[in-house]
Amino acid sequence: MDNQVVNTGEALEIHEKILDLKKIMSTSFLILGKYLKTMKENKHWQVIVGEGLTWSDYCAEISINRSYATVLISIYDRFVVQFGIPELEVAQVDQRKLIAMLPVATTRATAILLLEEAKYLTREDLLKRAHQMKNNPETCKHTPTLVRYFYCPNCKEKLTDLEAVQYGYTG
């Protein structure tokens, strides 16, 4: 092995540190959302930036985009506060997946189902799944629109030329 002696003990120690840090990173966004929620709801931010300034000013003070702060608060609020799902369970899912789930996780049952699916679906597949849940193609009355192919802008289902004509495309 390239004339190097691998120190197994050191390798395992570093590996454990990496896993520990990854666990901390995976929960930090959720904890940040928790504290931002408290800071915003209790208007504690006014102590930091002063009266007459805004929540946006506070977000700028801590170098967090206001819309990102809102997303972090929404994730924590929806999954942990509203639905009572344990923080560690929510934190196991990548925050980008949680963001994709927010519009359709409107019930505890749906949120739990999506959290489970998020463990094995890619972000792209989870986005498709969330979109399907929001706009059920089986109940959609298709409105065909020509792009480079026909699709329904309501449920995003692709249509064949024949289906587009059947649903009223006359172009």
Output the tens digit of pLDDT for each of the chain's 171 residues: 455 667 888 889 999 999 888 878 878 999 999 999 999 999 999 999 988 899 999 999 999 999 999 999 999 999 999 999 999 899 989 888 999 899 889 999 999 999 999 988 888 888 888 888 877 666 666 677 655 677 788 887 777 777 877 888 776
Number of domains in the chain: 2
**Residues 139 and 123 grouped into a single domain:** no
**Residues 52 and 64 grouped into a single domain:** yes
Phi and psi angles of residue 156, each rounded to the nearest 5 degrees, phi first: 70, 15
Position 3 in a domain? no
Domain of residue 25: give its range.
8-134
Exposure class string for 66-99: b at 16+ Cβ within 10 A, else e: eeebbbbbbbbbbbbeebebeeeebbebebebbb
Position 117 in a domain? yes
**Residues 139 and 112 grouped into a single domain:** no
Position 1 in a domain? no
Separation between Cα atoms, residue 81 and residue 152, nearest integer Å: 36
